[in-house]
Amino acid sequence: MSSFPSIITPALLSSIRSRANLPVNTWYFIAATTLSQLNRPDEIQKVYLHALGQRPLGAEVAEDGPPAVPSLDEKRDISRRMREALIKAAPVTGVPKTINALLELKNVTPDDLLDEPQGPSPTGRPTDVYNTPITQILKRGQDFFEGIYGKITKRVMGQMDRSGTEDLGLIARLVYGYILSNTNVLSAVETSYVMIAGLIPQDVNPQLKGHLRGALNGGATVEEVKAVRSIVMEICIASGMKMLDDQVPAGFGWRVESADL
């Protein structure tokens, strides 16, 4: 049990899951990604159990009552989408945080909702890694990258290639090829929501702006992207993040207003 104050309360759960214009079936993996970046993997369990129609022992019921109980297939879908969001967040939140988040999530995941080795992979990444030519994967990643950045694709990739080491561009191509462009569980636009949730807590507006626009390029509406941003901001503020003034050289918060559309 964490000794830190709770972030995920019944009131916050009620607020984020019922946000107007929020794309359906996304609130829980957006929340999990945000909590992972905030380094509060212990709070992810509350989100997951609520999404499954459960609540931790002794927890209060959300203001609008207990959540509906999904079917077994829906529970499996929720479980896989949360895990996939945490995997896709790794390039922006960091692999150690993803490890901790996934292990915390596994602690409360029923055995029949886990995808373990030797079983069928819902993402198909083992096939990508072991049985698909790398040129095919890199081409898929390039197409995905272009779908996000559109007409500024060459400028963005060029900046990374000319960052002082071309290896930065190589990392981007590998990440987009093998991780982000795989849309077997989360769609392209849902992947953009994961990126937004992982970037807002980091106070990195140049990258956030690209993925806010990328979500629109992927088919989201302005209202949907603003709704995604709003629940991430609400979780961040509940965690203690705040605007930092000119007298504070660093801290847990934002140096400038977080980018918006």
pLDDT for 67 equals 64
And the tokens for 232?
């991430």
pLDDT for 57 equals 41
Q: Please report, for the chain, how many H helices and E strands are present, in that order.
A: 12, 2
pLDDT for 197 equals 98
Q: What is 196-255 written as a DSSP string?
A: HHHHGGGT-HHHHHHHHHHHHHTT--HHHHHHHHHHHHHHHHHHT-EE--TT-SS-SEES
Q: CA-CA distance, 188 to 61, in Å (whole number)?
A: 34
**SS3 of residue 195 by DSSP:** helix
pLDDT for 58 equals 44
Q: CA-CA distance, 47 to 54, in Å (whole number)?
A: 10
pLDDT for 87 equals 98
pLDDT for 116 equals 85
pTM: 0.92
Q: Which residues contact 215 (CB under 8 A, 6 or more apart)?
A: 189, 192, 193, 196, 224, 225, 228
Ranges of residues in the chain whose predicted pLDDT is under 50: 57-58
Q: CA-CA distance, 68 to 71, in Å (whole number)?
A: 10
pLDDT for 5 equals 86
pLDDT for 160 equals 95
pLDDT for 120 equals 85
Domain spans, the chain: 1-117+189-204+221-261, 125-181
